[in-house]
């Protein structure tokens, strides 16, 4: 059977606790993903809204300026100076707005990509957690094994990122500590579920042996 990972309580109980914690984590991830998606959409749409507002403002300003200039006496030099100044100022403003719009679009795209990843991760975690809880409640090895395999696969990128943070990424100490604690906790959860699966497999084997012995005794 190996070393028992739980000092108190049964493996079935702690497997259910892990499933419930994963469901809570998945729900929080889904909520965060929706919030980040909305924020990314607003940031990405901000330049378009700003351009619309600026166009309306400039339209009103042009009407006022046109009315003001028509009241002035005709002066070719004044008109040439005003036209040149307005053209230079407009080009400079358009260039600044274009750069700002590009930055906002990039930030919005990054936020949307992060939100999609967060939502997908939350959905996968939620589905797997429900499968794990159902498997623990009904003591079904196959459902618990699905959670164990997928969680182990998802844990591998976290291990690689943690090792990279310790070597060449030069992450701060707090980030490394949080990453290490998260890996240890996930590994402990995997250990509990693996021990529970081993317990179920032992029970199934004993049940099959018992049925075999009963059948053999009945034949004899």
pLDDT digits (tens, 9 = 90+) for 171-212: 778 877 888 898 999 999 999 999 999 999 998 888 888 765
Residue 212 pLDDT: 55
CA distances from 43 to 71, 95, 102, 105, 191 (A): 43, 19, 11, 7, 43
- Using the structure block, give the residue that is written with the tokens 């459902």: 143
Residue 129 pLDDT: 95
Max mean pLDDT among 71-75, 105-109, 145-149 falls in 145-149
Residue 3 pLDDT: 64
- The pLDDT of 19-31, averaged and rounded, is 94
Residue 162 pLDDT: 82
pLDDT digits (tens, 9 = 90+) for 82-119: 555 455 555 555 555 566 778 888 888 899 999 999 99
Residue 208 pLDDT: 82
pTM assigned to the model? 0.70
Q: Which residues contact 186 (CB under 8 A, 6 or more apart)?
A: 151, 155, 158
Using pLDDT thresholds of 50, 70 and 90, give the confidence band for residue 217: low
């Amino acid at each position: 059977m190996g070393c028992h990972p739980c000092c108190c309580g049964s493996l079935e109980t702690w497997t259910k606790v892990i499933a419930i914690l994963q469901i809570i984590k998945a729900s929080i991830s889904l909520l965060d993903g929706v919030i980040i998606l909305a924020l990314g959409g607003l940031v990405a749409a901000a330049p378009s809204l700003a351009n619309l507002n600026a166009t309306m403002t400039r339209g009103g300003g042009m009407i006022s300026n046109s009315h003001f200039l028509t009241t002035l006496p005709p002066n070719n030099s004044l008109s040439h100076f005003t036209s040149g100044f307005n053209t230079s100022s407009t080009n400079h403003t358009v260039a600044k707005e274009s750069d700002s719009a590009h930055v906002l679009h990039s930030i919005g795209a990054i936020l949307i990509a992060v939100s999609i990843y967060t939502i997908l991760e939350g959905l996968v975690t939620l589905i797997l957690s429900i499968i794990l809880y159902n498997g623990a409640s009904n003591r079904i090895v196959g459902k618990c094994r699905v959670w164990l395999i997928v969680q182990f696969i998802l844990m591998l990128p976290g291990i690689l990122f943690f090792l990279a943070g310790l070597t060449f990424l030069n992450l701060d100490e707090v980030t490394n500590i949080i990453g290490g604690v998260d890996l240890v906790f996930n590994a402990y959860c995997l250990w509990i579920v693996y021990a529970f699966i081993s317990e179920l497999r032992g029970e199934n084997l004993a049940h099959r042996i018992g049925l075999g012995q009963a059948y053999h005794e009945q034949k004899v």
